[in-house]
Every structure is written in structure tokens, then in C-alpha cells.
Structure 1
Amino acid sequence: MAAFVKAVNARIRSNPVTDYFFSTHFWGPASNFGIPVAAILDTQKSPEMISGQMTGALTIYAFTFMRYSLAVTPKNYLLFACHFVNAGAQLTQGYRYLDYHHWGGKDKSAVVSKGVEAAKEAVAKVEKSV
């Protein structure tokens, strides 16, 4: 059995394409893409749920590993792309957090919700009269 595994491994490693797809240079970034995908999906949720500290930490993490992915030999461009997307998503979330919590987004949201309630009441009055 050990000889069979050794033979399969040698065959995989002899081809550069399969060697790449069976290495951590591929599977590390591929599995790591869950973080930016989750951040992108979170941009559709309410900004009141965003944690400013976690967003800041993930932004620093993304920029650190963007640098790391180009510092290793051989350069890992897939890891760079993963963290580039993550940095963009985290910066977007950071902007949404700051806009909502520090730049008056809460107040704007309250005004809009009051306007929506007033519109609903007006529609209800019209429906009753009809």
C-alpha cells in the first residue's frame, strides 16, 4: 500500500499543473476565500450589525497577508487575490460602519423610517376612505 501511495504521489508531483492543485499554494487560498465571500455577502445586511473592531482587525490581516503572499518564494498570486478581495470588502464594511455610527447614518435611517411610517399611515387612511 505504501508503495502505491508513493507512486501516485510521484506521478502527481511530476506534472506541474497537478502539483500546484495538490499543494497548499492552491488549497490554502481557495479555502481562505470564505472570508471575503462572507464579507461581500454582509454588505447587504444592516450596518448596525457591523463590528468596528473586527472590521479593523480583518483589514489589517488582509493587508498583512497581501504583503506576505508576494514575499514568499514562489509568489502566491492566488493568496494575493484572496486578500485583495478581502481588503476591499473590509474597507467597504469599515466605510459602512463609520457612516452609520459616526457620520450621521443612524439619524438618516431614523428620518427615513419615520417617513415610511407616515406613508403607511397615509395609505391606510386612503384605503379606509375608499
Structure 2
Amino acid sequence: MIDHTGVTVSDIEASRRFYTDALAPIGYELLREFPASVTGHTDVAGFGAGGVADFWLSKGTPNDPPIHIAFRAEDRGQVDAFYAAAIAAGGKDNGKPGLRPHYHANYYGAFVLDPDGHNVEAVCHDDPGA
């Protein structure tokens, strides 16, 4: 089980704004921030749901190549809302919301590139008729 993960971003302020808006529809919020004076290395910002920060941004040279990270959504409506919020926050379309049956019959996802080109996805695996 993964406890936490993150990405390195070039502009932590811009990325913090992007992720705050983009992840809100799936229940994620900015939970913690620490400056370099505390971490001993760089500024960081932690996002999560239920009070647990499990996705972190670190200021620095962005990962190259950019990474892909997928956030699980509770339903297809959250995927749609994530996509709309991420685009409104300045993200770039990398795959509109929809079924991806090549993964499995109920794979419903949306993909957006963040300010540094990381491929950010929201996905729901549930059958809405079940």
C-alpha cells in the first residue's frame, strides 16, 4: 500500500493553485505546507482527503520525463467535475472524460496536463448501473 507520493514542480505557487482547484471535486484539499527552512531542502505542499496528506508537491526541477498520477473518483460525475475544474485552473486537455474500455469495461477517466506537463488523471472504476 502506498502511503504518499508526489511530484516536483517548477513554480510551487502556481501548482498549489492548480491542484487546489483541480482536486477539490474529488474531495482533496491543501492540508499542509512547509517552507525550505523547515524541511531543510525545499518548499512543499501536501494535499489529501480525510485529513491525510498523501500527495505532495516539492519545489525544484520538475520530473523529466513528466510523470502520470491518477486519483480515484467516487463516481463519473466527480471525474467530469475534476476535468472541468482542472481546465478552468489552466490545465491542458490530455483526454476528455469518457470510457476507456481498452483498460476495462467500466474504466471512466479524464486526463489533464498540469503546469509542468505532468499527466494528472481522475478515474472511476465502478459500473454506474450496479
Indicate whether the TM-score tops 0.5: no
TM-score, normalising length from structure 2?
Answer: 0.25
Higher strand share: 2
Larger Rg: 1
